[in-house]
Amino acid sequence: MTNSTKKPVSVKKNSKRRHSRSIVSRKNLTIPISVFGNVMKQFDAAAKKLKMDSSIMDFIKMPRRSTIVNLPVRMDDGSFKMFKAYRVQHSIARGPAKGGLRYHPDVTLDEVQALASWMTWKCAVVNIPFGGGKGGVVCDPNKLSEGELERLTRRYVADMIELFGPDDDIPAPDVGTGPKVMAWFMDTYAMRENRSVPGVVTGKPISLGGSLGRVEATGRGVMLCTREAAKHLKIDLSQATAAVQGFGNVGSIGAKLLHDLGVTFTHVSDVHGAIHNPKGINIDDLIKYLHAKKSIIGFPGTKTVRPDAVLFAKVDILIPAALENVITEKNADKVRARIVAEGANGPTTPEADKILAKNNIFVIPDILCNAGGVTVSYFEWVQNRIGYFWPEDEVNRRLEEKMVAAFQDVLEVSKKNRATMRIAGFMVAIMRVVDVVEQRGIYS
């Protein structure tokens, strides 16, 4: 398929994310914050609490396999262009590797390793039988035609096809990809296998075996965790205020569902800027405005404010749902929310975590808070395997059961060990992975 018109595939709203914000400055040096290094610090803090065999800890903390390939792709003008691509499998102890595939110009091995690691702990926290994986291609999908994106996707699958399979490694959409990319992925794999294999990816179009409720799942998980945290802290959601940083899929859906529960959103930001209304922003109307204008700026009844005003707003609930490393040791003291519900992966650095804990801010960690997406991806995989599909209300009911149970598991460990919810979440996840490893043994 060749398309000479530069018409990009629809991508997630936060695809303009730039890592240039994830830096620290020390003695006139600008040093990028290692996202994978942050994961290792989070892991080590929990492992220290658990006092487990250090050799087992060393075995489960590092990625089992990191694959790097250079993909030659024919462009619409007939030339070839090389694209660097990654797939990291962090763990397959509890089941096949599971994790998204992102297309973004700032993709790095460090980032992909971090995201694969988080997926291992995320799947273990919500107790689904997957390990962790992640993939990425260094590209700007907004500058590629649909034909170029299709050829890039198919080449990615072809060059690493031995990694993938419904019992091996199961990709899903991420930044810069979506259901159409998953359809191309599934078709390429099926052509190589000479059979239909819908379970090789999740996040597919509904007509190709996707699950109802998958698009809303991550945002719904954020809502469910926030609701449970509010119950624990005795916060009345009908009287609560909130701010959301990032109004893409996760931020907008999480905000809408909390708005439906009575939460008043006073601050919202997207890639174009931030808006504020002390009396509240109608989230349903804002979503419609965003779809029409492609930006939240100028929404009636609001004024434009500095983007960091969202992070530092005096509200009950803050939802960072956009970038990694946005709450750091440099600004954590300015956060005034009672609950920080991490819709994004890695929005808070380990140094910032200590400051938030000292200030009695209740953080719902990313490996719990945004695990709704992978949970419904698991449901999609199960439905593909059995050949029977559930109605959306059943998907949502099953998701609620999983998320509430996971929240309570982490909260119990947190209270028992006097640990933050993040350390408790890692403790729960590590114990579940170690249990499987010890039962299976280590082949050598």
Q: What is the pLDDT of residues 279-333, one digit of tens each?
A: 999 999 999 999 999 999 999 999 999 999 999 999 999 999 998 899 999 999 9
The answer to whether residue 142 sits within a structural domain is yes
What is the model's pLDDT at position 443? 86
End-to-end CA distance of the chain: 46
Residue 21 has pLDDT above 50, yes or no: no
Say how many C-beta atoms besides its own lie within 10 A of residue 269's C-beta. Answer: 27
The answer to whether residue 55 sits within a structural domain is no
d(CA 238, CA 219): 19
d(CA 317, CA 411): 18
Residue 11 has pLDDT above 80, yes or no: no
* Per-residue pLDDT reduced to its tens digit, 64-95: 999 999 999 999 999 999 999 999 999 999 99
d(CA 194, CA 187): 10
32 falls in which pLDDT band (50, 70, 90)?
low
Provide CB contacts within 8 A for 408, sequence distance 6+: 228
Q: What is the DSSP letter of 21?
A: G
Provide CB contacts within 8 A for 18, sequence distance 6+: 106
CATH number at residue 131: 3.40.50.10860
Angle of helix 179-193 relative to helix 146-159, nearest 10 degrees, comes to: 40
Is the pLDDT higher at 96 or at 25?
96
Alpha-carbon distances, residue 339 vs 45, 357, 366, 388 (angstroms): 21, 11, 13, 39
Provide CB contacts within 8 A for 285, sequence distance 6+: 299
How high does pLDDT run on average in the chain? 93
The answer to whether residue 143 sits within a structural domain is yes
Residue type, position 179, single letter: P
What is the model's pLDDT at position 54? 86
Total domains present in the chain = 1
Provide CB contacts within 8 A for 436, sequence distance 6+: 93, 94
What is the model's pLDDT at position 27? 40
Provide CB contacts within 8 A for 27, sequence distance 6+: none
The answer to whether residue 252 sits within a structural domain is no
* Nearest in space to 359 (alpha carbons), one of 337, 328, 344: 337
> Torsions phi, psi of 206, nearest 5?
-55, -40
Residue 52 has pLDDT above 90, yes or no: no
- In terms of residue numbers, what domain contains 80? 13-18+63-211
Least confident of 4-8, 143-147, 392-396: 4-8
Find the catalytic residue in 13, 61, 122, 134.
134
* Per-residue pLDDT reduced to its tens digit, 173-207: 999 999 999 999 999 999 999 999 999 999 999 99
Please count the residues of the chain: 444
The answer to whether residue 207 sits within a structural domain is yes
> Torsions phi, psi of 27, nearest 5?
50, 50
What is the model's pLDDT at position 177? 96
The answer to whether residue 228 sits within a structural domain is no
What is the model's pLDDT at position 347? 96
Residue 26 has pLDDT above 50, yes or no: no
Determine whether 134 is an active site residue: yes
* Nearest in space to 19 (alpha carbons), one of 172, 133, 175: 175
> Torsions phi, psi of 170, nearest 5?
-125, 100
Quote the pTM value.
0.90
